[in-house]
Structure 1
Amino acid sequence: MTLHETEFGAVEALEWGTGDRLIVLLHALAAGPWGFGPLAERLLRPGRRIVAPALHGYGGTRVTGATDPVDAHLAVARWALGSGGDGRSVLFGHSMGGITALLAAGGRDDLAALVLFEPIVHAALHDDDPEDRELGAAERAMIRGIGAGVERGAPEAELGAFIEAWNEAPWADLAPRLRERLLADAGRLAKETDAVAGRAIPAGFWATVTTPARVLHGDRSPPLAARLAERVAGRLPDARLQTLPGLGHMAPALAPDAIAAVIEDALASPPQPVASAS
């Protein structure tokens, strides 16, 4: 990884290739950019440069004076998009990286494609829909549980339940070193999950994301993931909702062929807009 000193702090990033076509990959909560290697290899072509930055608090990335994790991640995303290219950049975001990519895309006219895999955007849910309310409330309760576990000094049960719900693997099956790292980061992860779930999106923001978008979810992912993808796609002015069969929430790392194929297709044939559900 390369460490870059910026005006707002340090950013560590994985980088592949050289060229004018920039592809930025934004990772999920608790994941980091390291799992993007296989996806980047499949996307690499002559003339393409791929950048996968570690978001704030991951690797060596630290945004000076950051108080809100989402704002800090957004600063990193904007830096990555400004790191080169010919004005036809591609922006991909997974989960927490999805809300970060969505926010980074607002007001830009220099993106060729926006691809979001299961973006965690609670603000896209409909307050008047009972299922939306139920799914959102259950997730927020799980997040509060992580914070409560941190406060009492024993977060493993709550953090393990969260990881199992989203990461397609039982907590007990994770490598001991990975469990230790996640538990050591439990306090930061509690704040980060709370900030992501609580992020407000102004009503007027959605119309500013004019880049042709693909919003993806796997059919093996948690129900909330599918509902969030549906709601995000419905609020964007030019988006296509796409279900990927046989895949779960960690598809960008576990099924890079499927994700790369969607990104390539989005570049080759921009999607048609869907009717807004807002």
Structure 2
Amino acid sequence: MPTFLSFEDKDPGVASRVPLVLVHGHPFDHTMWHPQLTEFAPTRRVIAPDLRGYGASPVTPGTVPLSRHAQDIAALLDHLGVETFVLAGLSMGGQIVMECAARFGDRIRGLVLADTFPAAETPEGRQSRNAMADRLLAEGMRGYADEVLEKMVAPYARPEVKAHVHRMMTATSPQGAAAALRGRAERPDYRDLLSGLTVPALVVVGADDTYTPAADAEAMHAALPDSVLHVVEGAAHLPNLERPEEFNRALGEFLARLDERTVGSPV
């Protein structure tokens, strides 16, 4: 059965290395992972979808909960014949990764949680997200993109990084972004889930992130039974784009550890 999502699938045919699945944040698309696709696709299978409502994937108006995004990812991986994998997500993508762990954690060999947090939304947060959804539907994406650009990436980020991030935001469907915001406002609390996970995890955060501060990453690291914390200096909410060499180095070390476990596991 064809998959619902648009996606990029880079498969060099190296079966000994666990596949990497990259889940983007809001309001972006899979091209936010360009430095990671470039770095890792030559040596392992890397799959980067556009989430429902983003990029080239179809838009579902109304409300799209995190559970629907998780179901879409499971269906995509089934379609591609990928049974086990490392699942990486940033911001909203990290929360989708946590939802995936709750639903099909037995398929996940490792988690990467970047610039995200596990708590349920507060009443004020729900109100704010729904108000922003109304605004995006009424005004479109450009005003919002202009306002938040230097929170998504640090004010000192390279011009080409700023341009890429702004381009992704303004290209996003307002209907898709609004539906995801309404769904995200209703997300569950994942903190108990994290404390029960046994697979290795990598927690990454930009040191200058104001959306999900380093304290949030430190709390996740403390809750996870088997995790590594990496704080990226000189980056805000998108360290994978702002400081790709450092982000890739931390991710590469984590993947190498998982590859060793996979090779050493019984068939």
TM-score, structure 2 normalization? 0.75
| Structure 1 residues not aligned, in runs of 5+ | 126-132, 271-278
**Counterparts of residues 251-270 of structure 1 (less than 5 Å):** 251-269=239-257
Provide the residue aligned with 2:53 in structure 1: 57
Query: Is 1:193 aligned to residue 181 of structure 2?
Result: yes
Distance, in Å, in 1 between the alignment partners of 2:113 and 2:82 is 20
Query: Is 1:240 aligned to residue 228 of structure 2?
Result: yes
Provide the residue aligned with 2:11 in structure 1: 17
> Is the CA contact (8 Å cut-off) linking 1:51 and 1:80 kept in structure 2?
no
Provide the residue aligned with 1:98 in structure 2: 94
Amino acid across the alignment from 1:222? T
Using CA pairs below 8 Å that are at least 6 residues apart, which structure has the higher relative contact order? 2
- Judging changes above 3 Å, is the alpha-carbon distance between structure 1 residues 184 and 94 closer, same or farther for their aligned structure 2 residues? closer
Provide the residue aligned with 2:132 in structure 1: 146
Query: Is 1:71 aligned to residue 67 of structure 2?
Result: yes
Provide the residue aligned with 2:261 in structure 1: none
Where is the strand percentage greater, Structure 1 or Structure 2?
A: 1
Structure 1 position 184, deviation (Å): 7.1
Distance, in Å, in 1 between the alignment partners of 2:218 and 2:75 is 28
Distance, in Å, in 2 between the alignment partners of 1:146 and 1:158 is 9
Moved more, 187-196 or 93-102: 187-196
Amino acid across the alignment from 1:244? V
Structure 1 position 232, deviation (Å): 2.7
Provide the residue aligned with 2:26 in structure 1: 29
Amino acid across the alignment from 1:92? A
- Judging changes above 3 Å, is the alpha-carbon distance between structure 1 residues 163 and 216 closer, same or farther for their aligned structure 2 residues? same
TM-score, structure 1 normalization? 0.72
Distance, in Å, in 2 between the alignment partners of 1:229 and 1:52 is 23
- Aligned-partner SS, 1:252: helix
Provide the residue aligned with 1:130 in structure 2: none
> Is the CA contact (8 Å cut-off) linking 1:39 and 1:257 kept in structure 2?
no
Amino acid across the alignment from 1:5? P
| Cα offsets for 1:119-138 (capped at 9, x unmatched) | 24332x9xxxxxxx8xx95x
Structure 1 position 221, deviation (Å): 1.2
- Aligned-partner SS, 2:25: coil
Aligned positions, number? 249
- Aligned-partner SS, 1:221: coil
Structure 1 position 241, deviation (Å): 2.5
Distance, in Å, in 2 between the alignment partners of 1:62 and 1:141 is 26
| Structure 2 residues not aligned, in runs of 5+ | 259-267
**Counterparts of residues 150-229 of structure 1 (less than 5 Å):** 150=136, 153=139, 157=143, 160-168=146-154, 182=170, 185-201=173-189, 204-222=192-210, 224-229=212-217
Provide the residue aligned with 1:276 in structure 2: none
Distance, in Å, in 2 between the alignment partners of 1:158 and 1:59 is 17
> Is the CA contact (8 Å cut-off) linking 1:147 and 1:190 kept in structure 2?
yes
| Cα offsets for 1:213-240 (capped at 9, x unmatched) | 0111011211633233233333333223
| Cα offsets for 1:124-167 (capped at 9, x unmatched) | x9xxxxxxx8xx95x66653542453476577655643444324
Distance, in Å, in 2 between the alignment partners of 1:37 and 1:17 is 15
Distance, in Å, in 2 between the alignment partners of 1:181 and 1:202 is 27
Distance, in Å, in 1 between the alignment partners of 2:108 and 2:221 is 17
- Aligned-partner SS, 2:110: strand
Question: What is the RMSD computed on CA atoms of the aligned residues?
Answer: 3.7
Moved more, 227-236 or 215-224: 227-236
> Is the CA contact (8 Å cut-off) linking 2:199 and 2:226 kept in structure 1?
yes
Moved more, 69-78 or 105-114: 105-114
